[in-house]
Structure 1
């Protein structure tokens, strides 16, 4: 099974079983950081949009 998965070229990581917990933990941490940054960007965009509408209203 692992050889077949690797052969597809669709795997993110090729690691020994002993290393998997640490690799998964780092992956999850990175995804959380990216998600948090995205949420922050979205909030900033909402604030800028509201400010722009207020400016147009006069």
Structure 2
């Protein structure tokens, strides 16, 4: 089995959902709200990383 590559960070979340066959609105922000489909994937990843770092600091 071949290893999958990481998706590009400049991809929009709407494109990511379509590419991976996910239903619309399946990607959520760390606070539980629906992520905008025009948000870039790298921004989405950074927000989750910041939320996880803040959780570890608690």
Normalising TM by the smaller chain, what interval?
0.3 to 0.5
- Which structure ranks higher in relative contact order (CA pairs < 8 Å, sequence separation ≥ 6)? 2
More helix by share: 1
With normalisation by structure 2, the TM-score equals 0.34
From the CA coordinates, give the structure whose radius of gyration is larger: 1
